[in-house]
Amino acid sequence: MKLTPLALGLGLALYALASHAAAPNIPVAPPVSPAVSANAATQQPAADTDGATASNDDSGNRRTKVKQLGAVTVSAALDEARNSLSPDTGSSQYVITAQNIQALPLGDATPMNQVLLQAPGVVQDSYGQLHVRGDHANLQYRINGIMIPESISGFGQTLDARTIQSVKLLDGALPAQYGERTAAVVDITTKSGADLGNGGSVGITGGSFGTVNPNASFWGNSGKWSYFFTANYLENNIGIENPTPSRDPIHDHTNQVKAFGDVSYLIDNDTRLSFMFGMTNNRFQIPNNPNAGTPQFGYLDVTNFNAANLNEQQDEQTRFGNLALQGKFGDTNYQVSVGQRFSGLQYYPDDIGDLMFNGVAGQINQGDRASTLQADFAMPWGGSHTLRYGLYGEYDRAYTNTNSLVFPANPDGSQASTVPFNIFTGTTVTAKTYAAYLQDEWDINDNWTLNYGLRGDQYTAFREESQLSPRVGVVWQATSSTALHAGYSRYFTPPQTELISNEDIVAFANTTNAVKNYGNNTPLAERSNYFDVGISQNIGSDWTVGLDSYYRRVDRLQDEGQFGTALVYSTFNYKYGRVRGDEFSLTYNHGPVSAYFNFAYNRAMGKDVITSQYNFQPDELAYIADNYIHLDHDQKLTSSGGMNYAITDTTKVGADYIFGSGLREDGLTPNGLSLPYYFQLNLNVSHDFNFDSFGKLHTQLALINALDRTYELRSGTGVGVGAPQYGPRRGLFLTLQKDF
């Protein structure tokens, strides 16, 4: 591997207060009891059905038959060992449990992006996108310690909250184990038949906007086997954000199917083989904006087209599967996995309407197949050290095929004929990613822990790029209730595999889809230096206060934009970027009341577009070349919070909210203005009914956007912003769930 050494830049600020290395949990529900540790499980195993017996051998000496650990106990020990493979020293960590998710207004029917919105510094955007600490996307998803390569840019939610036992959002200065996508790590631990026993659950959520969402799950364990499966179907009339403030969008129906499964087999007390898989099929109508104006082009003898009658659609598919072997040899814990993920996207235009409004109607077919190998190891040494090391490899093959109807154009760009013709363009990209890391967690004493390491990444696709990345994090446990963490990380972020090549641009010369071919069309890997410091303080046993500050200096900052009609994103780079922010969190948990409050400040700026300049107007490029501008997803102030009150053991009420100062839109300069502030309040009440012949039935009533406030997520202007989008209007939803 060819790597270029870089000097280590390190800034650590220390000032008192904090309760643990990570930021506090969000206790919207009573916390789950801690898992049994691996040592405890080993020392006090549960006997299997054979039990343990003693007998005498031929010499008369007493011989004890080896006791086999119970499957559930072994699984708990292996879970604990798997968790030890992934450190978080120096980074910021927010934990949301299955109980926390259940306490949200929509409970387990809450989309994954809205679950994560409960963590500090997470900003919502249209199409289900999230921005963490000023990044466009750049999220890494891990399930049971296995990294799942991200899907093609789009608005489908691949993962289902019903799979989650707990989810950690790790951000800040991450240890050397984490690379490629580094804005945040969404680390999911799934539910397991070994933990849940044998049973299942069926239910349905329905309500406003034609929402129907049935679901079914079943789980169990038998001998050395355990399994968990879940699936659900969603149908409603608000698949994508409404481009108008009206209550009912035009042409916005969606059908979505999701499924997930996890099967594991205990080879012995120290070894487990697991197979995990998931799939989604999502279909969307793209909503129409009747205020889109008048067509700019003629089609044959047609001169007018009502934008409310457009019929554009987009389909998305994701499949992934991973086979993992987890175990222990000597004192070394390990997990080795191989996997594959396929992601596909198809955009179907309204041929006549798209031609008349945009001068092009492109049917797009994208696909990406990624094969992965991941190996992680953790080994104690020297009494106070834990050595962690591993490697990651990914082979991607991505393609984009487009059939585009266009009109011929005159030299000045005006339409030369009303008779369209077809142009086919196709691009295939092969990307190879290799990474290796080595890090040491050193428990200096009872109060100080230091994690330091080095990561090497090499990425080959559009060009070959590589980097050595030092990482260091420190935790100081100042008192039993006060701690501080700080860290520095050097990051290397490969670009997305979507590419518009020079050949694609040339193919549209002298047509109504022509663009100026200038600049560099090859996306570049992002390189950055990240500094993070955080504190938290336990006040008594009920309150926890946390504060975190970060600063990131970026070269070749990556951003993405929707520059065409389809809801597909293209990558471009700013030469320079700088991101900074602060996060505050407060949690309370006492008796029947639990509550949380988060507030974040962020500024994300970029300067000088150096790739994919064909997407920009010359005056925009000229201004950005000499001036820092706000990134389109920059939101200055963000807040979330919630409260849950248990009236009785069977009846609970709750509320949560999200607040933002608004994303960016164009003003006198690109992204020069922010959209208006928004506030969304959600309410819920739940009750468990008990029927003699039926058993317990869980019911939950949710009122989303209870104040019915109309707010705009996007105005349709700004760098890479394709259309306006509004937040949801008031909706009432009822969930019925029956466990068995």
**CATH code, 172:** 2.40.170.20
pLDDT, tens digit (0-9, with 9 covering 90-100), for 288-304: 999 888 999 999 999 89
Question: Please, which pLDDT band fits residue 65 given cuts at 50, 70 and 90?
Answer: very low
Q: 654 with 644: CB under 8 angstroms?
A: yes
Residue 21 lies in a domain: no
Does 739 score more than 90 pLDDT? yes
Work out how many domains the chain is built from and give that number: 1
Residue 7 lies in a domain: no
Structural element, H or E, at residue 81: helix 71-83
Residue 62 lies in a domain: no
Q: Please give the average per-residue pLDDT across 597-618, as a whole number.
A: 92
Does 340 score more than 80 pLDDT? yes
Strands 637-646 and 385-406 come out as unpaired
Q: CA 102 → CA 93, 99, 201, 639, 685, distances in Å? A: 20, 5, 14, 21, 11
Tell me the backbone φ, ψ of residue 694, rounded to 5 degrees.
-120, -25
**Strand locations in 174-224, DSSP E?**
184-190, 199-207, 211-222
Identify the pLDDT of residue 604.
97
Residue 455 lies in a domain: yes
Q: Please give the average per-residue pLDDT across 454-483, as a whole number.
A: 94
Question: Which residues constitute the domain of residue 90?
Answer: 38-49+67-739
Task: Please list, in sequence order, all residues whose beta carbon lies within 8 angstroms of the beta carbon of residue 511, skipping any fewer than 6 positions away.
Answer: 359, 360, 406, 407, 408, 409, 423
Exposed (0-12), middle (13-18) or buried (19+): which is 434, by Cβ within 10 Å?
middle
What is the C-alpha radius of gyration for the chain, rounded to an integer number of angstroms?
27
Does 282 score more than 90 pLDDT? yes
pLDDT, tens digit (0-9, with 9 covering 90-100), for 528-581: 999 999 999 999 999 999 999 999 999 999 998 766 656 667 788 999 999 999
Question: Please, which pLDDT band fits residue 82 given cuts at 50, 70 and 90?
Answer: confident
Residue 327 lies in a domain: yes
pLDDT, tens digit (0-9, with 9 covering 90-100), for 477-505: 999 999 999 999 999 999 887 766 667 78
Residue 32 lies in a domain: no
Q: Please give the average per-residue pLDDT across 645-653, as a whole number.
A: 96
* Residues 685, 668: Cα–Cα separation, whole Å: 47
Does 10 score more than 70 pLDDT? no
pLDDT, tens digit (0-9, with 9 covering 90-100), for 161-192: 999 999 999 999 999 999 999 999 999 999 99
pTM (2 decimals)?
Answer: 0.86
Identify the pLDDT of residue 68.
42
Identify the pLDDT of residue 2.
39
* Residues 625, 629: Cα–Cα separation, whole Å: 10
Q: Please give the average per-residue pLDDT across 130-138, as a whole number.
A: 90
* Residues 608, 309: Cα–Cα separation, whole Å: 40
Task: Tell how far CA 393 is from the center of its chain.
Answer: 20
**DSSP 3-state of 361:** strand
Residue 3 lies in a domain: no
Does 87 score more than 90 pLDDT? no
Question: Please, which pLDDT band fits residue 129 given cuts at 50, 70 and 90?
Answer: confident
Identify the pLDDT of residue 70.
63
Does 24 score more than 60 pLDDT? no
Tell me the pLDDT of the chain averaged across its residues: 87
Does 18 score more than 60 pLDDT? no
Identify the pLDDT of residue 643.
95
Residue 420 lies in a domain: yes
pLDDT, tens digit (0-9, with 9 covering 90-100), for 235-281: 999 999 999 999 999 999 999 999 999 999 999 999 999 999 999 99
